[in-house]
Amino acid sequence: MSHKLREVIRNISVDCVIFGYEHSTLEVLLVKRDVEPYAGMWALPGGFVKKGERIEDAAKRVLAQMTGVTDTYLEEIGVFDELDRYPLWRVFTVGHVALISPEHYSLHAGVDTRDVQWFPIEKIPPLPFDHSKIVAVALEKLRKRVRYQPIGFEILPEKFTLPQLQRLYEVVLGKKLDKRNFRKKILSMHFIQKLNEKDKNGIRRPAYLYTFDKKKYEKLKEKGFVFEL
């Protein structure tokens, strides 16, 4: 990338905070930097915006190149502009977040996978630049968002169980929820549909599988609601 510096806008970059949900925890996707500064450190996937390129396209491009993650809806979370955030010269970066379902992607397809890894949010290594700040802002936005919009569709497998969805909410909200009230509330919104299948994987009593009703899900996301338990 750096060998094409003349193609890029040298003072504007993008960074992506990709959240995934697996093993009952929230995880963030990090890549090992292969260029200076901070080569060798784990960092958010990011890079400079090219001349003639839209910011969102830059974020998608960078993400695909560095991690193999494609077709993701990236949401802007703000500009990070501390004067010395980039040590060599002044760079403004536009932060983005996305939620994805880890199982849908083979990370960095075809390239060395050791350089791309999921990290549980409580075990994120020290990050270069202001990347810790960016992750913190992304997480805060996610926590606010969950109260007013449905989540899960982007981050859970296509078929999922209610206990899975509940754990996702618990992880994001950071508190335990009452099983019965959670089910009642979620089901009353009708954005998920029960299937006639059960989850085989569990070694306990199998749970019923559900899928998202994408139309109703998107409508609720537009309209907003209130989730308080």
Partner DNA sequence: CCAAAAGTGTTGAGAGTACACCCATGG
Partner DNA sequence: CCATGGGTGTACTCTCAACACTTTTGG
Q: Which two tokens stand for residue 84?
A: 């010395």
Output the DSSP codes for 7-74. Answer: GEEEEEEEEEEEEEEETTEEEEEEEE--SSSSTTSEE-SEEEEETT--HHHHHHHHHHHHH---S---
Q: Which two tokens stand for residue 8?
A: 């890029």
Under rule CB under 7 A, residue 228 binds DNA: yes
Least gap, CB of 19 to DNA (angstroms):
22
Question: Which residue lies nearer to its own copies by CB, 51 or 215?
Answer: 51
Per CB under 7 A, contacts with DNA among 119-148 are none
Under rule CB under 7 A, residue 201 binds DNA: no
Residue in the block written with tokens 């907003």: 224
Per CB under 8 A, contacts with its own copies among 185-214 are none
Residues 9 and 48 sit within 8 Å (Cβ to Cβ): yes
Site string for its own copies, 18-37 (x = CB under 8 A): --------------------
Under rule CB under 7 A, residue 175 binds DNA: no
Question: Residue 52: beta bridge partners?
Answer: none
Site string for DNA, 145-164 (x = CB under 7 A): ----------------xxx-
Q: Which of 97, 96, 75 is nearest to 13 (CA)?
A: 96
Question: Which residue lies nearer to DNA by CB, 40 or 206?
Answer: 206
Under the rule (CB under 7 A), what is the footprint of DNA? Answer: 161-163, 178-181, 183-185, 188, 198, 202-208, 226, 228-229
